[in-house]
Structure 1
Amino acid sequence: MAKSMIQRRQEAERERIEAYAVTLRRVSPVARPAPDFERALDDARRGFAGMAIRDGALWRPKLKTRDRARLRLAAARHLYARYPVSAALEGIWLDASGLDASEVALRKAWYIAVARGDSLYKAGANAWLSRKEVHCFLNLSGDLIFDEAFWVAIARSYTDDPGLAARLARTKIARTPRGELVFWREVTRFFCGHPASKEEIDDLCDYIGAMHQRDAAYTLKGRTLASLRRQMLEWHRDIAAIERIEAMRRRAAGRAPHTAGMRSQGRAWDGSRLEDWEWQPSSKEAKAHGERFFLRQLKTAEDLVAESRAMHHCVSMYAAKCIAGNASIWV
């Protein structure tokens, strides 16, 4: 039976409505979930049971944000904060990327101690900071992050210039391991007495760090900014010389047959077939206790450059001949 005009119009209207609904479903955004306040409370409480001064069940946030970090900070404020806390300490609740678990726990513990009104010095800061430095750390303003605030507090022990202290806190000093604090505190003290630009301090810190890694007893006592600059330039020249010699060694290794030559492991070349020699005279023959004589062949770029620097001669110029086996240097 043929459909009436009215039925055909009704069906066409239903089809238009359905097509419109499909279009709306396709272009309308997915409904956003409500802020997860319970998850934020769990994140803030984790590892600090019994430290809260307020019941999490009483939290009535008016936040509209769904950002997990901001919710976590708000939860921490509710649970622990009796007093306002600096942004440097609050930052751990917002971003802990790049930090190991022990450092995250330490920074959160420091936040909780300060927020509750406890003594940060007694809460563990005394392992690194004096009472004066703790007081400075807690009363800093501005957009400093934790490490910067930490080193500003240390620098202010050695200078009354807040600008210089802030400059030092933004150098590579602030990124050094806390386990090396004693050494880098000495470096900070040096630059408080010998101010320089941030860029120069960073360059000098590369050199100072390399010297400290090479010799744990390395110190800045008796040094000046001018002497450090000179030594840093010499160090850079040595690095460049080592790189040139290494490039020669790699080229020679690439040309050598796989069955012969350049068999040494690592960054050394084969060198002379003569073995290193060592002799220790008997106690009757020795002129001094523990007297010992030795001859050692230099077979790495580092050793050649170090010998050149120590003896003020140009043995490193013979590197190509040493690598090719046409010469050898002994000490």
Structure 2
Amino acid sequence: MARSMIQRRQDAERQRIEAYDARLRQVFAATRPVPDFERALDDARSGFAGMAIRDGALWHPKLKTRDRARLRLAAARYLYARYPVSAALESVWLDSTGLDANEIAFRKSWYVTVARGDSLYKAGANAWLSRKEVHCFLNASGDTGFAEAFWLAIARSYTDDQGLAARLARTKIARTPRRELAFWREVVRFFCGHPASKEEIDDLCDYIGAMHQRDAAYSLKGRTLLSLRRQMLDWHRDIAAIERIEVMRRRAAGRNQRAAGTQAQGGAWDGSRLEDWEWQPTAKDARVRGERFFVRQLKTAEDLVAESRAMHHCVSTYAAKCIAGNASIWVLRRTALGKIERLLTIELDPQNRAIQVRGFGNRPALPEERKIVERWAKARGVTLRA
């Protein structure tokens, strides 16, 4: 049925009113909720029962912010702060992104201690910092974060150059785990005596961290900035060599898997079927108590490159032969008094014949080393050249 003129006018008016209301909703925001002060107090009290110096029930702030982090900081200031506290300590109330629960509790406890006017040094900071370092930490500038202020304090104990100390505090050192403090403190001390740019320190820290992870006894004592640079370049070359070997291994593994219809397994190639070998001399023959010798096969890029670097020879270039199954690389090690000594690198062909037996710098095997290799060869059915 056709609509009358009046009905059409009414529909048009209704649509105009609806459009006007929709526009108003876009222009005028919804009513903002009131700040949740009780929640802020609960957040600030959590884990610190009995530590407040003021009654939270009497807190009547004139704050307009609805930001939970800012309210939490305001509540913490009211509950605990007898004295002003640096931004480095307050930052944990504002943003704890990337921190685990233990680290958050740790930083908050330091804030509460300092805000109340208690001695941070006596409250536990003496496990990491000296009195001088605690003083420097507490007086860090306003734009300094917690970790940065922590390492700035350590660096200032080794140098009077504030610029150098601040530069060190902004490097990757500030992101190292506190359980490794003793090692990285030594690193800071090294760079205080051997200044470098932030970018170079970060690059060197990547290398230093990798060496420390590989060997917990790694130290910078006796090293120079020049030697570290050279070693870092060698390390980068090793990484590149490992990657090239890994590419070869993955390609070979992919071909084998497609042929056999199987899935990739780990990052090692198959290698020889011979088992590793270990021998312990009798108490009469051993040079020291507990002396042992072992021969094991290298089947990963990392091991092959590390052997090549440590023994100063080119065994890493044999990776393609190992991956293809045309050779296997074995190493003879001696362990005594808690230390492992590299002795020989051995190449076997697929028929388990020793093609090469070389020591450091491609030297031939020493007579006593040869005897041990012969013992291994007899036990594993390896043929040695005369």
Q: Provide the TM-score with structure 2 as the length reference.
A: 0.77
Distance in structure 1 (CA, Å) of the matches to 2:103 and 2:74: 21
Q: What per-residue deviation string (whole Å, max 9, x for no partner) do you get for residues 149-197 of structure 1?
A: 0000010000001111110000000000000000000000000000000
Q: Determine the structure 1 residue equivalent to 2:220.
A: 220
Aligned to 1:156: 156
Give the letter for the 1:299 counterpart. Answer: K
Aligned residues: 323
* 8 Å Cα contact 2:212-2:218 kept in structure 1: yes
Conservation of the 8 A alpha-carbon contact between 1:134 and 1:153: yes
Name the CA distance, whole Å, in 1 between partners of 2:219 and 2:290.
Answer: 29
Q: Give the deviation of 1:266 after TM superposition.
A: 2.1
Cα separation, 1, equivalents of 2:206 and 2:15:
71
Q: Pairwise mapping of residues 56-205 of structure 1 onto structure 2 (< 5 A)?
A: 56-205=56-205
Structure 1 residue ranges (4+ consecutive) displaced by more than 6 angstroms after TM superposition:
14-18, 258-264
Residues 234 and 108 of structure 1: CA distance in aligned 2, closer, same or farther (over 3 Å)? same
Q: Secondary structure at the match of 1:164?
A: helix
* SS, match of residue 296 in structure 1: strand
SS in 1 for 2:329: coil
User: Which residue identity does 2:268 align to in structure 1?
Assistant: A
CA contact (8 A) 1:262 1:269 kept: no
1:49–1:296 Cα change, 3 Å: closer
Match for 1:47: what amino acid? G
Specify the code of the residue in structure 1 equivalent to 2:274.
L
Q: Is the 8 A contact 1:253 1:262 kept in 2?
A: no
After TM superposition, the structure 1 = structure 2 runs for residues 293-312 of structure 1, keeping only pairs within 5 Å, are 293-312=293-312
Q: Which residue of 1 aligns with 2:250?
A: 250
Q: Is the 8 A contact 2:242 2:301 kept in 1?
A: yes
When residues 140 and 285 of structure 1 are mapped into structure 2, their CA distance, relative to the original with a 3 A threshold, is closer
Question: In structure 1, what residue type is equivalent to 2:60?
Answer: R
Deviation at 1:125?
0.9
Q: Residues 10-38 of structure 1: CA distance to partner in whole angstroms, max 9, x if unpaired?
A: x99x9699658844664332111111111
Distance in 1 between residues matched to 2:257 and 2:264, nearest whole Å: 13
Contact 1:72/1:94 (CA < 8 Å) preserved in 2? yes
SS in 2 for 1:47: coil
TM-score (norm 1): 0.89
Residues 66-87 of structure 1 deviation map (CA, whole Å, 9 limit, x = unaligned): 1111111111111111111111
Given that residues 253 and 264 in structure 2 are in contact (C-alpha distance below 8 angstroms), is that contact kept between their aligned partners in structure 1?
A: no
Q: Does 1:319 align with 2:319?
A: yes
Report the alpha carbon displacement of residue 57 of structure 1 after superposing the two structures with TM. 1.9
**Which amino acid in the other structure matches residue 266 of structure 2?**
G
SS of equivalent to 1:297: strand
* 1:195 to 1:259, Cα distance in 2 relative to 1, 3 A: same
Cα deviation, residue 143, structure 1? 0.3
CA contact (8 A) 1:43 1:72 kept: yes
Measured after TM superposition, the shift of residue 314 of structure 1 is 0.8
Q: Which residue of 2 aligns with 1:45?
A: 45
Pair 1:36 & 2:36 matched: yes
Any idea what the Cα deviations from partners look like across 1:255-303, whole Å, max 9, x if unmatched? Answer: 0156869999522211123333334444455565445444322221112
- SS of aligned partner of 1:329: strand
**CA separation in 2, counterparts of 1:278 and 1:102?**
44
Return closer, same or farther for 1:199/1:262 CA change in 2, 3 Å cut-off: farther
Unpaired stretches in structure 1, ≥5 consecutive residues: 1-7
Mean Cα deviation higher: 209-218 or 321-330: 321-330
More contact order relative to length (CA 8 Å, sep ≥ 6): 1
Output the aligned Cα RMSD. 2.7
Q: Partners of 1:18 and 1:265 in 2: how far apart?
A: 68
Per-residue CA deviations over 1:183-237 (Å, capped at 9, x if unaligned) read 0000000000000000000000011001111111111000000010011110111
- Structure-2 separation of matches of 1:17 and 1:299: 78
The residue type paired with residue 116 of structure 1 is R
Consecutive unaligned residues of structure 2, counting only runs of 5 or more, are 1-6, 332-386
When residues 271 and 58 of structure 1 are mapped into structure 2, their CA distance, relative to the original with a 3 A threshold, is same
Report if aligned partners of 2:269, 2:323 keep a CA contact under 8 Å in 1.
Answer: yes
